[in-house]
Structure 1
Amino acid sequence: YQQATANLVSAKANLVKAQKDIDRYNMLLKNDAVARQTVDQAAAAYQTAQSQVAVAQAGVASAATDLSYATIRAPFTGRIGISQVKLGAQVTPGTTLLNTISADSPMGVDVVINEQDINRFYKLQKTTNDTTFRLQLPDGSVYNQPGKIYAIDRGVSDQTGTIKVRVQFPNPTDQLRDGMSCVLHVLNNDSGDRIQIPYKSITEQMGEFFVFIAKDTIAEQRKVKLGPRVQSNVVIMSGIEPGEQVITEGFQRLRDKGRITLGAPGAAGQGGAGGKQGAQGK
């Protein structure tokens, strides 16, 4: 690079000399004190000097580009880890990992949600407030910065029926670190007294969800609207009233208005639907 810079300085000096020569010969030509051929030669030398300056400038730009490859610059401000190679080690472009850098702020928290909650998170993406997302750190403390949905993945996994959501949190004090495991608390806009039933009692038909309600010895099929999962239970948003008995066992071949034999959960008879469980408000 320094050699290319020196060549440019030399070319510019030659250009200055050529400029003075052509000016001097033009003055002499007005007084017929110099041959026309000498003036033409001076003009050609001046143009040659101009071309040499352009070539030298291109050489400096090329050398600067080559020199930039010797310095690795991060595409963003962040924290760099421990180097994966030592000084003098042989590396191959595109295959050798030298180091990893992670952004400090904001930080993204990736969570996986059930496909039934997709619409809920799309709504949260549009109406997020400072209390919608709260992060619980590994030491049990609650992170004091609010989060917001940064992105929802393009599609649902056909193997797990889940989709990834990235929630973004400010990190002004570097309290969050890359790879940290945390618990994300999401505000439930439909919170309040709700009914929970065992998820195993739900049947799905053409994208709709149903349960069987015990009416004495008759099973009534009821369409329900599901809320979020709570471990092995599911919240029922509508379709069941508190105190109604939900059939939880032996309903696989049961039809609406079919006769049933009631019993304790887990003790289903062979001739009909068995276990039942009361719907409880939560």
Structure 2
Amino acid sequence: MKSCYPFFSNLPIVAIGPLLALLANSCSERNAFVPPPPPRVETVQPTVGDVTIFIEFPGRTDAFSKAEIRARVKGFLKSRDFEPGKFVKEGDLLFQIEPEEFEAAVLAAEGQLKAAQANEGIADTNLARRKQASQSGAVSKIDVESAEAEAKAATAQVEVAQAALADAKRALKYTQVTSPIGGRVSNSFVDVGNLVGADGPTLLTAVVQDDPIYVNFEGNERDALDNLQNRPKEGRPDYTADFKEIKMRLTLSDGRVYEKTGNMNFIDNQIDPATGTIKARAEFPNPEGALASGLFVRIGMPETIENAITIPAAALQRDLGGDFVVVVGEGDVAQRRPVKPTRFQVDGNAVIASGLTAEDRVIVSNLQRARPGLPVQPVASQPGEAQATSATQAAETTPEPEA
């Protein structure tokens, strides 16, 4: 049979032995286990200091003032005297209703008043003559009393005519539909030429004043407790100065924070037992018109936590055993450290209630390889690096209010 290894078959047995030993030795050296170096990790020391967090609640913007513009008299719409969407001032003319019918009514009322005044003059003259005649006995006392009654009736007719004239003038004035407030005017809800006011006050348009602008929201019972004592009470008819000076933050639906702060100006008189919330309102300046009524927003109420411990949010982990971080212990060995976080975050940093000190070295990178009980190569993170790491690994959030 032909050998599959002609090279070895031609070697003497004495030569094969050393060769096999050499091959075995080289393979053994290649397969020897070399432990990997400890993983390199970045560490930060917890920051201790006062921090201001914002407790956020969902809310809706609401106009400071709203006016529905309605036709107060019956007639045909003659003109629209504004541009939809534009800003109007208080007293600006918005619509005109055909005035001819009402002008005629004013003329008729003026004529009736003149007639009543003339009758009053005749009655007064007749009364004066009868009183003079009664002194000589030419007329009886009954005739004088009858003349007095006629004079009073004539005066009453004058008053009725005056009221009718005032009513006619008021109706004529209502043909000029003006804005009762300054603000942005909506579109016209009725076209020129249509009959308005036939079945009651017809809605013509609306004007909204949104500077300042309100934000209505509902706070949960727990967060409302600190402000209930700031409400008006007997002997103090207004909210406390501390309540009015709370600087509220507004976050829009696209995530942008509104550039101006607002102030609290209302908190309701009771908590809804079904939801455990209380209605409240804040007021924000809106000079540029950046906010409109009806926007969904998140409103933040500030709260200062004294001597707060903060770490990058990316360092905080959770498993079945609870919340924890990994710290560098003695001998540069990773250690699991249970912590109790709060529900707050500030600029990407988690606020920790307990479990850490300012001297701890908290691992903020390479967390998958930094296993408790194994050595690591700690490197102190430079200022800003920990924040960048946190920003890339965990998005900044502000806690939802708890009901």
Task: Quote the residue 1:79 is aligned against.
Answer: 184
Q: Is the 8 A contact 2:244 2:264 kept in 1?
A: no
Deviation of 1:35 (Å): 5.8
1:241 aligns with 2:347: no
C-alpha change, 1:96 and 1:158, in structure 2 (3 Å) is farther
Deviation of 1:71 (Å): 5.3
Task: Quote the residue 1:132 is aligned against.
Answer: 247
Q: Is the 8 A contact 1:7 1:56 kept in 2?
A: yes
Task: Quote the residue 1:45 is aligned against.
Answer: 150
- Residues of 2 paired with 1:50 and 1:94: CA distance? 35
Task: Quote the residue 1:275 is aligned against.
Answer: none
Task: Quote the residue 1:166 is aligned against.
Answer: 281
1:108 aligns with 2:223: no
Task: Quote the residue 2:90 is aligned against.
Answer: none
1:22 aligns with 2:138: no
Paired residue secondary structure (1:29)? helix
Q: Is the 8 A contact 2:213 2:285 kept in 1?
A: yes
C-alpha change, 1:16 and 1:225, in structure 2 (3 Å) is farther
- Residues of 1 paired with 2:192 and 2:176: CA distance? 14
Which amino acid counterpart does residue 98 of structure 1 have in structure 2? L
Task: Quote the residue 1:270 is aligned against.
Answer: none
Deviation of 1:5 (Å): 3.9
Task: Quote the residue 1:178 is aligned against.
Answer: 292
Paired residue secondary structure (2:281)? strand
The normalised TM-score by structure 2 is 0.42
Higher relative contact order (CA 8 A, sep 6+): 2
C-alpha change, 1:128 and 1:200, in structure 2 (3 Å) is farther
- Residues of 1 paired with 2:303 and 2:209: CA distance? 30
Deviation of 1:18 (Å): 1.0
Paired residue secondary structure (2:184)? strand
Task: Quote the residue 1:257 is aligned against.
Answer: none
C-alpha change, 1:112 and 1:67, in structure 2 (3 Å) is same
Q: List aligned pairs for 1:1-282, cutoff 5 A.
A: 1-2=105-106, 3-34=108-139, 38-60=143-165, 62-63=167-168, 66=171, 70=175, 72=177, 74=179, 76-90=181-195, 97-110=203-216, 117-119=223-225, 127=242, 132-133=247-248, 143=259, 146-152=261-267, 166-171=281-286, 173-179=287-293, 187-190=302-305, 194-195=309-310, 211=322, 226-228=342-344, 235-236=351-352, 238-242=353-357
Structure of greater Rg:
2
Which amino acid counterpart does residue 187 of structure 2 have in structure 1? I
Paired residue secondary structure (1:84)? coil
The normalised TM-score by structure 1 is 0.55
- Residues of 2 paired with 1:200 and 1:152: CA distance? 38
C-alpha change, 1:162 and 1:200, in structure 2 (3 Å) is farther
Which amino acid counterpart does residue 164 of structure 2 have in structure 1? G
C-alpha change, 1:21 and 1:240, in structure 2 (3 Å) is farther
Deviation of 1:49 (Å): 0.9
C-alpha change, 1:39 and 1:130, in structure 2 (3 Å) is closer
How many residue pairs get aligned? The number is 239
**What runs of 5+ residues in structure 1 fail to find an aligned partner?**
204-209, 246-262, 266-279
What is the RMSD of the two structures over their aligned residues, measured on CA atoms?
5.5
Which amino acid counterpart does residue 152 of structure 2 have in structure 1? Q
C-alpha change, 1:63 and 1:94, in structure 2 (3 Å) is closer
- Residues of 2 paired with 1:35 and 1:193: CA distance? 103
Deviation of 1:22 (Å): 0.8
